[in-house]
A = this chain, B = another copy of it.
């Protein structure tokens, strides 16, 4: 779970519990095991993100069915973060809301889909009783989505399909090239690579590494923003700038971590 999401849970008087399933092999059994070790009778909801921020993974239907089954057995809501739904490259995006519609609240965003982050507009889909309550609560939290943002959002929905298709192609290409250069798995979706840089850390740890990167004009997110289990990883956003700029940055990072790129392997 991203740090911002965890803070929202705390603000709502909840306790976020990390489930370290971002790295390593994922299976229904491994996810169920990790969840079972952490669920309690005070647990209210699971947070699921696909395409994943920060790993760029897609959760397939089988994994989502396993998560849905666990949620049903423990009477949990599911918070489904699907803001990157339009950016699935290797397979179709599957919403857990299709599998467990009775307990899933799916979050979507114009920020990610249409590159409109500055407009602060998104939407929520879920069971109608929950939506009615959410509308009431919204009055006291943000009143309404900004009017100009609602207008541009409608236009994006009506006319933005071609833009998204082009963005998807472009994001995928730069994601693949970045992954190849860094010698890591190509992203299934989303706009991030999650890279283990443990072999390059010195006594200053991850923060020291990130500070060194700043000298290369590289701004990366520490893995610890996604949970205590990722103290040697960094998140790289490959859509934060134009492809040629991103790839120049990727090149500097690859040099810094001594990455053996796929191009090298091919030689």
Contacts and interface: CB of A to CB of B under 8 A. Distances in A.
Contact of A148 (B3, B4, B118): B118
A148 to B, nearest CB: 5
B139 A4 contact: yes
Interface string A103-135: 000000000000000111000000000000000
A221 B120 CA distance: 29
A43 to B, nearest CB: 21
A21 interface: no
Contact of A144 (B118, B145, B147): B118
Give the secondary structure class of A's interface: helix
A13 B144 CA distance: 23
Interface in A1-60: 3-4, 7-8, 11-13
Contacts of A148: 118-119, 146, 148-149
A147 B139 CA distance: 22
A144 B111 CA distance: 12
B146 A120 contact: yes
B140 A120 contact: no
**What is the copy number of this chain in the assembly?**
2
A118 B149 CA distance: 10
Given A13-B13, A148-B119, A148-B149, A142 B139 contact: no
B144 A120 contact: yes
A143 B122 CA distance: 13
A73 interface: no
A105 B12 CA distance: 23
A141 interface: yes
A8 B11 CA distance: 11
Contacts of A139: 4
Nearest to A5: B140
9 contacts: A8-B140, A11-B11, A13-B13, A118-B146, A118-B148, A120-B142, A142-B142, A146-B148, A148-B149
Interface of A: 3-4, 7-8, 11-13, 118-120, 139-149
